Chains A and B, each alone.
Chain A
Amino acid sequence: MRISTLFYTIRQGFRNIFKNKLFSLASIATITACLFMLGIVYCIVLNAQNMVKAAEEGVSVTVFFEEGTDETRIQQIGEQLQLRTEVSKVVFVSADEAWESFKTEYLGEYADGFTENPLANSEHYEIYLRDVSMQSALVTYLESIQEVRRVNQSEIVANTLTGFNSLVGYISIGIIAILFCVSIFLISNTVTIGISVRKAEIEIMKYIGATDFFVRAPFVVECILIGFIGAAIPLAIIYFMYDQVVAFIMERFSILSNLLQFLPVTTIMEDLAPVCLGLGVGIGFLGSIVTVRKHLRV
């Protein structure tokens, strides 16, 4: 194929967008609306998961040791725990530190009556998990260690967080899948209608002896561009609106500021941008290929 022919088909694709303004606007609006909805749900889901994860990170398992366990063995157990995949952080709290913390938190000036450390045998590890659903597996492992006297865990919190996390996961997958299907249906329908009204044009090209590529290429270029613009608009809106919406929520619900931990917009965009652009361009490409094919059998 001649280079000039290639440029001609690309140029025609660009020109078609302006020539068929109504189709272009309808398609761009549909893609924008669908992907905007998808983007908003994605933001909500990602932030909800982030908040649950933050809550999970605060959940710890405390492990106490048998009386007389030497420091070397305790240190060795700590090192082994640190190597486990489900463990994110292991903090050693000595008996003195435990007593100091207890005094500060509960006794205050009444602690002066104690001459010895009543928590002499309470050195322990606080173990923080990467994934709270792995807590029971870790507890089973800890209880199998001979020197371990007692393991404290907050089973209800862990189960609630795990359940909530799964729920958020399932609901978000469901909503995103539905929105995804609706988007594909709406966008491809718009593209189909837009191309179908130009059936006569395609027929004329075929009668004159145009190859399928020559007929199809400008439509593909046109639909890819429409898909790209339709995806870029909601991304830009979300990008510029996100921080303002977050600031608004934080101001209105400042009482929940510890719980409401929003992700930065750049993190959101890392996944959302390629997904939206891929969807827009992909649907434009496939929609045009499939629809034009229907009219090529002339």
Chain B
Amino acid sequence: MAEEKAVKKKRRKRGATSDKYIINMEGVEHEYDSGSRGLDGVDLKIKYGEFVFIVGDSGSGKSTLIKLLLRELEATEGSVNVLGYDLNRIRHRKIPQFRRKIGIVFQDFRLLKDMNVYENVAFAQRIIQVPTKQMRKNVPAILASVGLADKYKTNPSDLSGGEQQRVALARALVNEPTLLLCDEPTGNLDPKNTREIMQILDEVNQTGTTVIVVTHNSEIVNAMQKRVITLKKGVIISDEEKGAYIDED
């Protein structure tokens, strides 16, 4: 009962009970300096608390979309609104503040090699200036939730791919983000680790965090029955609730 209350509270805090959009893209185009188009007139609305898969072949614009959502790239046309921030107008010094509300997980984990597991996760807390005392509670708790409580002193290079991705996930989640962006999070993992990572993501979503997963993995997309947005050549060709992976081949 108490656990249910806590989850409800978290969902409310993360806006998952509202009807508002966490992501609102209208007529978004992005053209690279080379002249190639990453996105071509994308309209996309995602509500707080949703779980969305973004699928598509290589070069379909998935990575461009993630980079636009992170404000690593700027739209050449159209508007991108994420977490209430107008990313076309956001000031450079405000970007860190914006990114602190987002958790990010990459295919290649991107852990800091000269830091151990604990330090990698604590680093995310250090950035938002969490007091050391609080950090000493939060970091072990999040490591325990991804099943790495006993590996906090280990260097990332001594962990398996699945374990490294869990560390990356713990780092992304430790600051309790409202939005979690996962760019091919299971791309380097075996089926068992893939299932476990997806299970953690589903649990995270249950607590109100909006989860967006970019993937090539049709099995997990089909198994999870979530919203699926399919991109092709920079255009959204389908957007279905409880959708399936559309295999172009």
Taking Cβ atoms with an 8 Å cutoff, the residues of A that contact B are: 1-2, 4-5, 8, 19, 200-201, 203-212, 214, 298
Q: Identify the closest chain B residue to A297 (Cβ).
A: B92
Asked, given contacts A1-B129, A205-B127, A298-B72, whether A210 binds B110 with beta carbons under 8 Å apart, the answer is no
Q: Is B97 in the interface zone, CB < 8 Å from A? A: yes
Least CB distance, A14 to chain B, in whole angstroms: 14
Q: Which of B72, B97, B110, B132 contacts A200 (CB 8 A)?
A: B110
How far does the alpha carbon of A206 sit from the alpha carbon of B71 in the complex, in Å?
Answer: 11
How long is the Cα–Cα vector from A298 to B111 in the complex, in angstroms?
Answer: 17
The answer to whether B127 touches A210, judged by C-beta atoms less than 8 angstroms apart, is yes
Verify B127–A19 contact, CB threshold 8 A.
no
**Known contacts A200-B110, A201-B112; is A209 also within 8 Å of B126 by CB?**
no
CB <8 Å contact, A207 and B104: yes
| Complex CA distance for A204 and B119, rounded to whole angstroms | 14
What are 17 of the A-B contact pairs (CB < 8 Å)? A4-B131, A201-B112, A204-B111, A207-B70, A207-B104, A207-B110, A208-B100, A208-B104, A208-B123, A208-B127, A209-B98, A209-B124, A209-B175, A210-B96, A211-B93, A212-B96, A298-B72
Q: Give the contact-size bracket for chain B.
A: 20 to 34
A209:B129 contact, CB within 8 angstroms: no
Nearest neighbor of B172 in chain A, beta-carbon distance: A208
Q: Is the CB of A208 within 8 A of B99?
A: yes
CA distance A203 to B131 in the complex (A): 24
Describe A's contact surface by its main secondary structure: helix
> Is the pair A208, B171 in contact by a Cβ cutoff of 8 Å?
yes
User: What is the minimal beta-carbon distance from B19 to any residue of chain A, in angstroms?
Assistant: 27
Interface residues in B163-198 (C-beta closer than 8 Å to A): 171, 175
Query: Please, how many angstroms separate the alpha-carbon atoms of A211 and B97 in the complex?
Result: 8
Q: Which chain B positions have C-beta within 8 A of A212?
A: 93, 96
CB distance from A218 to the nearest CB of B (A): 11
Q: Is B114 part of the binding interface, using a Cβ–Cβ cutoff of 8 Å?
A: yes
Q: Which B residues are CB-close (under 8 A) to A210?
A: 96, 127
Report how far A235 CA is from B111 CA in the complex, Å: 40
A1 contacts which chain B residues (CB < 8 A)? 129
**Which B residue sits closest to A201, measured CB to CB?**
B112
- Report whether A209 and B72 are in contact in the complex, using a CB–CB cutoff of 8 Å: no
Q: Determine the distance from Cα of A52 to Cα of B194 in the docked complex, in whole angstroms.
A: 81
